[in-house]
Amino acid sequence: MANTASPADPTRRDFLYLTTGAMGVVGTAAALWPFIDQMNPDASTRALASIEVDIGAIEPGQSITVQWRGKPVFIRNRTPEEIEAAKSVPLAELRDPLARNDNAAADADASDANRATDGMENILVMVGVCTHLGCIPLGQQGEYGGWFCPCHGSHYDTAGRIRKGPAPENMHVPVYTFVNDTRLRIG
């Protein structure tokens, strides 16, 4: 007896081809998933994506250093004199004209207002890494009363802006928000 099925009619063989192909795709995806999933950051990294810091105990003129994403973050409660010193610097004197503030536009200038938060100008938050070779600067030192990197001689002012030395950029300001007057969330 001859096969009476027309080429447009599905046969059992067509069904077997489709199901075998579908199972092959599902099997390949199941085999590849562990390799793809292992590229995601681990739980400890995701847990450090943001931290909250109590800043209520930081007196004017004092700084604290916290760890965020494996890097030191400087939080300084600046005195009115330090704020005025930072505001009085003409932008033309700055070596890096950009604010380097993740809370502001990428092309924001390096004025003190663009390095701090409006209404909380006394609190300065910066990633505490020298932009030259990644050293950790010393606070309240250097020619401008801000930070000094003794490894290669970079001097930062009271707003964390590079003023002298080999560092090419201002210290970076991470994303942060004020939860309330005494708590700060970084990240």
- 69-106 confidence digits (pLDDT tens): 889 999 999 999 999 999 999 999 999 999 998 888 88
Judged against a pLDDT cut of 90, whether residue 181 lies above it is answered with: no
Q: Which of 181, 165, 64 is nearest to 124 (CA)?
A: 64
Domain ranges of the chain: 11-40, 47-186
Under DSSP, the state recorded for 169 is S
Judged against a pLDDT cut of 80, whether residue 47 lies above it is answered with: no
Mean pLDDT calculated for residue range 36-40: 84
Mean pLDDT calculated for residue range 160-180: 91
Domain 47-186: homologous superfamily in CATH = Rieske [2Fe-2S] iron-sulphur domain (2.102.10.10)
Contacts of 162 (CB under 8 A, 6+ apart): 94, 95, 96, 131, 154, 155, 156, 168, 169, 170, 171
Give the rounded distance of the alpha carbon of 22 from its chain centre: 43
At residue 22, the 3 state secondary structure works out as helix
Place of tokens 């990633």: 127
Catalytic residue list: 152
CA distance 68 to 65: 10
pLDDT band at 37 (very low <50, low <70, confident <90, very high): confident
At residue 142, the 3 state secondary structure works out as coil
Residue-averaged pLDDT of the chain: 87
CB atoms within 10 A of CB 35: 8
At residue 160, the 3 state secondary structure works out as coil
pLDDT of the residue at 109? 92
Place of tokens 């809370």: 103
DSSP letters for 50-112: -EEEE-TT--TT-EEEEEETTEEEEEEE--HHHHHHHHTS-GGG-S--B--BTTS-TT-B--H
Contact 83, 124 (CB under 8 A): no
Tokens (6 digits) for 116: 């701090």
Mean pLDDT calculated for residue range 110-134: 89
Query: Per 3-state DSSP, what percentage of the chain is helix, strand, and coil (rounded to 5)?
Result: 25, 25, 50
